[in-house]
Amino acid sequence: MTNETTLGTAIIVGVGPGLGLELARAFAAAGHPVAMLARDKARLDGFAAELASIGPDVRGYVTDAADPVNLRSAIGAAIAELGAPDLLVYNVGVLSPDSPTGGDDQDWARNTAINLLGARVAADAVLPALRDGRGSLLFTGGGYALRPSKKFASLSVGKAGLRAYVQMLHDQLTGTAVHATSVTITAGIDGTGRFDPAVIARSYLELHAQPEAEWQHELVY
Ligand SMILES: NC(=O)c1ccc[n+]([C@@H]2O[C@H](COP(=O)([O-])OP(=O)(O)OC[C@H]3O[C@@H](n4cnc5c(N)ncnc54)[C@H](OP(=O)(O)O)[C@@H]3O)[C@@H](O)[C@H]2O)c1
């Protein structure tokens, strides 16, 4: 372990220039070591340099969330280097124009692995490692979970499946010290008003700090 912070690591799977970066910034500013997971190492290195001065330790880890072995390995490396996690945010989503029929089966399989299976893999990897057996498992959902679109069929199925998965995970964890919630974002994160990614990121911090009596399986944003 490389730090002596009193807070556990925030593991964020899916960090790009939008919500992911603001989540990393928010949890770093709150004092958590932050592990940022994504595929683009150069971009992650840039984010780590940008956030270096605001938190105890912010590092990038390369992973492909479609590959369970690779994702478990990256999460394991982050925990070994930054310390036991307080929370997971699974923030990956693939916005792929596709339809209920036609298209490529392999694209569907990969998109589903990223939108849905990776969330299960990440939760399963982080849950037993949570510091003192307590913390938060947070998942970024989307409005297509509530109103599917035939123009973004694999994402609609993935986000609906993710929402169901988190509801079950929340139920499974009832009575433990672990809180599982999906944040279902129902409009484009366009930087305006409450759909500013920095504003949305604060709601993840609030969910992590929420008293147990208020725990819920979903925040519809
Ligand atoms: N943007 C919106 O308007 C909007 C609206 C509603 C919901 N959402 C949801 O909000 C979340 C964040 O969206 P965002 O647009 O703000 O994205 P973001 O946080 O800027 O970036 C997410 C990052 O995930 C990484 N990623 C993608 N596929 C991956 C894979 N297979 N393995 C590992 N990392 C992968 C990508 O980085 P690399 O290329 O480096 O891998 C991508 O930049 C998503 O779940 C999305 O569905 C977004």
Q: Count the Cβ atoms, other than its own, within 10 Å of residue 127.
A: 19
pLDDT digits (tens, 9 = 90+) for 36-90: 999 999 999 999 999 999 988 999 999 999 999 999 999 999 999 999 999 999 9
Domain annotation covers residue 18: yes
Domain annotation covers residue 4: no
> Hey, is 38 helix, strand or coil?
strand
Q: Which domain holds residue 47?
A: 9-220
Whole-angstrom Cα distance, residue 177 to residue 6? 18
User: In what order do the strands lie in the sheet containing 34-38?
Assistant: 58-62, 34-38, 9-13, 85-90, 135-142, 178-185, 218-220
Strand-pairing partners, residue 118, are none
Ligand 1: centre distance to CA 115 (Å) = 10
| Ligand 1 site, residue 127, Cβ cutoff 6 A | no
Domain annotation covers residue 77: yes
Ligand 1: centre distance to CA 19 (Å) = 8
Q: Which amino acid is at 54?
A: I
Whole-angstrom Cα distance, residue 20 to residue 153? 23
| pTM exceeds 0.75 | yes
Write the CB contacts of 176 (distance below 8 Å, at least 6 apart in sequence). Answer: 133
| Ligand 1 site, residue 188, Cβ cutoff 6 A | yes
With residue 58 as reference, give the H or E element that holds it: strand 58-62
Domain annotation covers residue 2: no
- Most informative mutation of 91, 107, 218 for ligand 1 (most atoms within 8 A of CB): 91
Confidence (pLDDT) at 88: 98
| Ligand 1 site, residue 114, Cβ cutoff 6 A | yes
Number of domains in the chain: 1
- Most informative mutation of 11, 12, 13, 19 for ligand 1 (most atoms within 8 A of CB): 19
Confidence (pLDDT) at 200: 97
Question: In the chain, which residues have pLDDT < 50?
Answer: 1-3
Whole-angstrom Cα distance, residue 190 to residue 112? 25
**Backbone angles phi and psi of 164, in degrees to 5:** -65, -40
Confidence (pLDDT) at 3: 46
Contact between 161 and 108 under an 8 Å Cβ cutoff? The reply is: no
Domain annotation covers residue 3: no
| Ligand 1 site, residue 19, Cβ cutoff 6 A | yes
Confidence (pLDDT) at 113: 98
| Ligand 1 site, residue 20, Cβ cutoff 6 A | yes
DSSP 5: -
Confidence (pLDDT) at 55: 81
For the domain that residue 153 is a member of, what is the CATH number?
3.40.50.720
Domain annotation covers residue 44: yes
